[in-house]
Chains A and B, each alone.
Chain A
Amino acid sequence: MNIAVDLATVWAFIIAFAVFVYVVMDGFDLGLGILFPLFPEKHDRDVIMNSVAPVWDGNETWLVLGGGGLMAAFPLAYAVLMPALYTPMIVMLLGLVFRGVAFEFRWRTTKAQNRWDIAFFGGSLLATLAQGIALGAILQGVHVEGRHYAGGWWDWLTPFSILTGVSLVIGYSLLGATWLVMKTEGELRDRAYHLSWIFLLAMLGAIGAVSIATPFLHVEYTHRWFAWPNVLLTAQVPITVAVITVLLLRSLANKYDYQPFFLALALFALSYAGLGISMYPYIVPQSITIWQAAAPANSQLFMLFGVAVLIPLILGYTAWAYWVFRGKVKPESGYH
């Protein structure tokens, strides 16, 4: 154990944290886009947009930190994974372009507003699907030779990656629906409850399907999850999922405002922990470990100072921005 080893582990957690914060924050944000067609009335759409307009930009900055941080802290992993995920990445970026501009563009036109609503939905759906597919493609492993990706540009496309893509669409929809429960009132909220039920059941199915499929990808994954005594620890994950599910069902039945969203986030956190259990210590599964991919210690150390000081500060003022726009979005909105 030298200092570089410790730094690589610390950085693996930092990158994992950035990606998780991204999933937490942009997850509901993209989910609202996916749910958009289910709310055809202009008034509802305005409320949905307003519930997230002040914060979407900050949410997506975590994605930039995830990408930029990966390049800086694990350049080899970034250099291998990005070409391997070429098509999903490009699709995600283009999807984010469409949905990002829709936040402002749809208020600037009445004639073409419907067009930007479609862009918001389509962009959100494509970006989410691409993120889920990328996740599946990473889990199933990529073909590496030397320091380069050596596979083709369609290797990512498998039934498993499609499964993870669809699962993420379901998951983000659940986050979006429970966000609306928290942020809206009246009839809009009632429909959000209804959707939360549907997407929660779908999410449970998705978690089950991905959990069953993952061990078949690599014998390593099976070993990691089911070998004695690992199973004593790994079994905590599905048990906690069951507990959270019961709490979530109860909070929906009791029509609580805040609990469903945060319990849905807890479900995400558990799925994410499961992912970590499968992958660690690989950053490119079964090919490159975090230590092999790590940038030289002085690069990781240089950034660690910044992260230690700035991340708490960032979380602080981000929380303030959410606090400023707290509470239900007022229904009498609509200047345009």
Chain B
Amino acid sequence: MFEGWDAVVLARAQFAFTMSFHIIFPAFSIGLASYLAVLEALWLWTGREVYINLFNYWLKIFAVAFGMGVVSGIVMSYQFGTNWSAFSDKVGPVIGPLMAYEVLTAFFLEAGFLGVMLFGLKRVGPKLHFLATLMVAIGTLISAFWILSANSWMQTPAGHTINADGQFIAADWLKVIFNPSFPYRLVHMVLAAYLTTALVVGAVGAWHLLRDRHLAGPRVMFSMAMWMATLVAPLQILAGDQHGLNTLEHQPVKIMAMEGHFQSHKDGAPLILFGLPNQSASRVDYAVEVPKLGSVILKHSPDAPMAGLDTVPRENWPPVAIAFWSFRIMVGMGLLMLALGMFSLLMRLQGKLYDSRLLHLFAVAMAPAGFIAVLAGWITTEVGRQPFTVYGLLRTTESASPLAAPAVASSLIAFIIVYFAVFAAGVIYLLRLMAAPPHPGEEGPSHEAPIRTAGITPATQGAPS
């Protein structure tokens, strides 16, 4: 009995660990692929050399990040079977096809055109090459579509029935795919990916501007990134608010955990800013709270009653402290992004975008903010779904593989050692690439000498340079 329980906790730790490592790379590459498509389009359209230099500069970074995303992603596609076999048997008929469509419509598209995007400019010419870049960028977005649909179905299942073997079966595929939380989660995640990338691009630009504010490449990338922060950060806060209201409608217990609402409030719930949730005593210790503001935010009325965890059986409670804190970290990062966006707008209007050292320092400090927010947000939503894998219908304890604890413990340790060794090296290589400023005549990631043979289109032919 104890051993069985232990193996489930270990399997959860393993999934959380491998998933957290994985999500960092797609969050970055979704945004970066779109950014690369924009840079290449601007190069083809305006012919300004700075755009192709920036394109090649970020393409090398993309190649390294994408490789890490691929290998950590293959792990995820097999984790369902190795560690969550009961889940796979029962839920496979519904979310399996969604993931199969992700492979067929997105992964192949990305992988098929990635080689041409990375190494093929001189072989296929600028127009076909742009098509390849566009396909990779679209592939990353299609991938987000399917995987978030599958994840959202686990949060807000819809359009299904259950058969005699206890398997979930789709009754209406459209209802399965477009389940109630999916549109909100998709918008929230794609915006998050764009913001994450913008903050990295902005930080790299700012880093080089701090050394030399006249560098053409860093000026362009910094300006583009700050536009994204200015425009998308407020949008993201709006999208997050709508996502929260959707969660309140479909997963109220998750909101109770995020807000630390152990008690019900008949006439207006407070907003707890900070405090230490104490799950066993059902209270938030040392709470700093604003009366009625919780109801204002969630119900748009100061006296609206709000149910608390005291209305929910204890065995259905998620771990409150984790959801409570990860949510606050995410919101805090979002507010900092908003501040950066507004500050940069102010400096831009005053004509000091490239001169304000304070702005550049702020932007450099914000480099990891997107990753932190993405991780915190995912922890909030996934931990808030506990103790279920399919919300309200299938418990996490009923989802795990019949594995001995030592098997899971060994694999968990192996993943931790390998991931830290491999991905730490990868991050060092990424930072090394970013530490050098983009320069005129920047080369792409091609490992070959330029092809001089007549008959193969050189990069410059047909394209402005």
Does B63 contact A79, Cβ atoms closer than 8 Å? no
What mask results when residues 180 to 201 of chain A are scored 1 for a CB within 8 Å of chain B, else 0?
Answer: 0000000000000000000000
Residues of A within 8 A of B (CB): 46, 49-50, 53-55, 57-58, 60-61, 63-65, 67-73, 75-76, 78-83, 85-87, 89-90, 93-94, 96-98, 100-101, 103-105, 107-109, 112, 119, 147-150, 152-153, 295-296, 298-299, 302-303, 306-307, 310-311, 314, 317-318, 320-321, 324-325, 329-330, 332-336
Q: Pick the residue among B102, B402, B445 that contacts A148 (CB under 8 A).
A: B402
Residues of B within 8 A of A (CB): 63-64, 66-68, 70-75, 77-78, 80-82, 85-86, 88-94, 96-97, 99-105, 107-116, 118-120, 123-124, 163, 165, 167, 169-170, 173, 401-404, 406-407, 411, 414-415, 418-419, 422, 425-426, 429, 432-433, 443, 445-449, 451
Using known A-B contacts A78-B92, A79-B81, A299-B94, determine if residue A306 contacts B101 with beta carbons closer than 8 Å: yes
Does B71 contact A96, Cβ atoms closer than 8 Å? yes
Residue of B nearest to A335 (CB): B447
Which of B72, B92, B170, B419 has the most CB atoms of chain A within a 10 A radius of its CB? B92
Q: Return B223 CB to nearest CB of chain A, in Å.
A: 28
Name 17 interchain pairs, CB-CB below 8 A, sorted by A.
A46-B447, A57-B66, A71-B92, A72-B96, A72-B100, A75-B88, A75-B90, A76-B89, A82-B81, A83-B85, A94-B418, A104-B64, A148-B85, A317-B109, A317-B112, A324-B123, A334-B447
Does A298 contact B92, Cβ atoms closer than 8 Å? no
Does A100 contact B71, Cβ atoms closer than 8 Å? yes
Does B103 contact A64, Cβ atoms closer than 8 Å? yes
Using known A-B contacts A81-B81, A310-B105, determine if residue A54 contacts B401 with beta carbons closer than 8 Å: no
Using known A-B contacts A148-B86, A295-B93, A335-B449, determine if residue A101 contacts B426 with beta carbons closer than 8 Å: yes
Does B123 contact A97, Cβ atoms closer than 8 Å? no
Does B402 contact A72, Cβ atoms closer than 8 Å? no
Docked pose: A138 CA to B268 CA in angstroms: 60
Residues on B with C-beta less than 8 A from A85 are: 82
Q: Return A71 CB to nearest CB of chain B, in Å.
A: 4
Using known A-B contacts A68-B103, A75-B89, determine if residue A321 contacts B402 with beta carbons closer than 8 Å: no
Q: Return B370 CB to nearest CB of chain A, in Å.
A: 22
Q: Return B120 CB to nearest CB of chain A, in Å.
A: 6
Does B165 contact A147, Cβ atoms closer than 8 Å? yes
Q: Pick the residue among A53, A119, A310 that contacts B447 (CB under 8 A).
A: A53
Does B411 contact A108, Cβ atoms closer than 8 Å? no
Docked pose: A195 CA to B391 CA in angstroms: 56
Residues on B with C-beta less than 8 A from A336 are: 447
Docked pose: A240 CA to B80 CA in angstroms: 39
Which of A46, A108, A148, A303 has the most CB atoms of chain B within a 10 A radius of its CB? A108
Majority SS of interface residues in chain B? helix
Does A75 contact B167, Cβ atoms closer than 8 Å? yes
Residues on A with C-beta less than 8 A from B167 are: 75, 295-296
Does A317 contact B113, Cβ atoms closer than 8 Å? yes
Does B112 contact A332, Cβ atoms closer than 8 Å? no
Closest 4 CB pairs of A and B: A82-B81, A72-B96, A75-B92, A54-B115
Does B407 contact A72, Cβ atoms closer than 8 Å? no
Residue of A nearest to B419 (CB): A97
Residues on B with C-beta less than 8 A from A335 are: 443, 446-449
Docked pose: A76 CA to B81 CA in angstroms: 10
Q: Return B11 CB to nearest CB of chain A, in Å.
A: 11
Docked pose: A100 CA to B426 CA in angstroms: 12
Does B422 contact A101, Cβ atoms closer than 8 Å? yes
Docked pose: A336 CA to B445 CA in angstroms: 10
Q: Pick the residue among B100, B119, B402, B426 that contacts A68 (CB under 8 A).
A: B100
Residues on A with C-beta less than 8 A from B414 are: 90, 94
Does B407 contact A87, Cβ atoms closer than 8 Å? yes
Q: Pick the residue among B93, B97, B113, B446 that contacts A321 (CB under 8 A).
A: B113
Does B96 contact A63, Cβ atoms closer than 8 Å? no
Residues on B with C-beta less than 8 A from A96 are: 71, 74
Using known A-B contacts A71-B99, A310-B104, determine if residue A58 contacts B112 with beta carbons closer than 8 Å: yes
Docked pose: A38 CA to B406 CA in angstroms: 37
Q: Pick the residue among B74, B105, B110 that contacts A93 (CB under 8 A).
A: B74
Docked pose: A92 CA to B9 CA in angstroms: 23
Residues on A with C-beta less than 8 A from B105 are: 306, 310
Residues on A with C-beta less than 8 A from B115 are: 53-55, 57-58, 321, 324-325
Residues on A with C-beta less than 8 A from B426 are: 101, 105
Residues on A with C-beta less than 8 A from B81 are: 67, 70-71, 78-79, 81-83, 89
Q: Return B403 CB to nearest CB of chain A, in Å.
A: 6
